[in-house]
Structure 1
Amino acid sequence: MNWRSIGDVAAEVGVSPQTLRAWEKQDLLVPDRTPGGQRRYGPEHVSRARRIADLRQRHGWNPAAIRTSLSGPDDVPVPDEPADGGRLRRARLASGLSLKELAAMTDTSVSHLSSIERSVERASTQLIARITDALGVPMSSLASFTRTDASVVRADERATVVLEGGVQWEELLLPGHDLEPALLSIPPHGSSGGPYSRPGETFAFLMSGTLRFRVGGGLGDHAQVAEPIDVAEGDSVSFPSRTLISWENVGRKTARAIWIEVLSPKAWSDPMTRRIVRAASGFTPQEPAAGAEPERGADLR
């Protein structure tokens, strides 16, 4: 057999040897070993490495989701839409923020934020919430809208964003409304990426699957003190504004939920908000009602 070294495989797949070692620790790619302990990679290892790299780079899946996908058939959706970090970059530039400034405001690294903007990595829902809060815009403003009719959005016209772990948000309305309804699809092991809160009330109805929510607690000790709530098909749940929550699909099939968040009545009226949305997606929200005063601040989603 034509064995390859770790350096050969790393060069062939386009990753670093350190990445291959990390995949081995995560039980994603375990090579054979010589009697002396050297790693030996065969053709099947190289093929698997390519699949892992593709799932990470194109879909942003975490190790657990990748293991599920590689272990056999499942109903995990494989989105074929590439990540579009360009919308985030355009929104950031329109706001006048540098990468360093936005990274500091969102408690993430410059390198991670840069990788997201270059569509090398996908952001988690938690990070998107932090980013849009920092920019002062609703979360749906980073989606790509092609419709102009604010009243009707057909099933095949939804603006769709695929985030870390294959979590998919499909927007059910165009920007400009006081509600942001979405269809949320979460593959097994998919999650919010950590705890976050929203300025307005949040409601979710589980159409299928199971989600485990954790509610309350601080960012540092979230896993120890947050109370778990399991929500199954047919159940609904709501959270008051500013409630710290996280969620994860702990089931064996994709969870799908109708997800609705309440915005400030003036969330779309601020000129800077409208400028950022237009720069990110090319869509301009409908003009605010006559007499409405612009509002900008922490209560924007």
Structure 2
Amino acid sequence: MKKKKFGSSALETDPLIFGGNVFGWTLNEKESFKILDELFEKGYHTIDTADVYSRWAEGNNGGESETIIGKWMKDKGVRDQISLHTKVGSDMGQGAKDISKSYILKAVEDSLKRLKTDYIDLYYTHWDDDKTPVEETLEAYQKLIKEGKVRHIGASNLSPSRLQDSLNAAKNSDLPKYEVFQQQYNLVERNDFEGDIKNICNENGVGVATYFSLASGFLTGKYRKEEDFEGKQRKDFVKKYLNRKGLEILDALDQISANHNVSNAGVALAWVINRPGVTAPIASATKSSHIKAFDEAISLDLSEDEMNKLNEVSK
């Protein structure tokens, strides 16, 4: 599988990143191991998670996803073959988001313990707390990089101004630079990335990973009427897309997927892969058929007319 580089950094990624938010949520440990085994055998070795995954599930406290990944890597002896991405800053029970230096230095130790490793390939600022000076956050990462506990840093969900301030601080104060930015981006949610964030990343050589690349499963086509998501754990994520625009996008995906004999998910992911400024989409899977869509997306050659059709219907 051909690797891609994040922006101007030395960090490489698979053309599609596996999202570990399902571990400990919609998949238990045994099911998670099965999916991880299949992904690894197929050559998908880039895994994205966060300390807060899957805290929202009943009975969970956070860290469940990291714990499952850590156990799997240790059992398989494959840590050195995995590009491991995780995040810090979400509310893990402290009552608020926190990207202060003291909090990051404590939280990283918890993540390393759960992941059963002594280093993280890519460590993200998950959310902004809107109060910590950007220099303080970057100083924490500088210490972790010098100690070898973190190799590269990224950010997610920052405002354009805070992202730019962070990049300026890195340049002007000899601090580590965010090399990757993670943002929601898919056929039904384009505005968060297109515009200022995209321009800032392009101008500063920052790679881009997209989350919710399948709009929480809506773009697979399995949610077309209200009864389709009743009782589903993703109901609150997908019901807002069940409107005229969403259905028109699904219709376009139906047509293009039929032309290529692939899944709607494969087409939707291929669209993200081929969008300007995107390094790699993040997507999750809970069964083998979902992983098949990853293979389809990587190999699918969408025509200019097909890309234009998807661009137009998703405006």
Provide the TM-score with structure 1 as the length reference: 0.27
Q: Compare CA radii of gyration and give the structure with the larger one.
A: 1
**Which structure has more helix as a fraction of its residues?**
2
TM (norm. structure 2) is 0.27
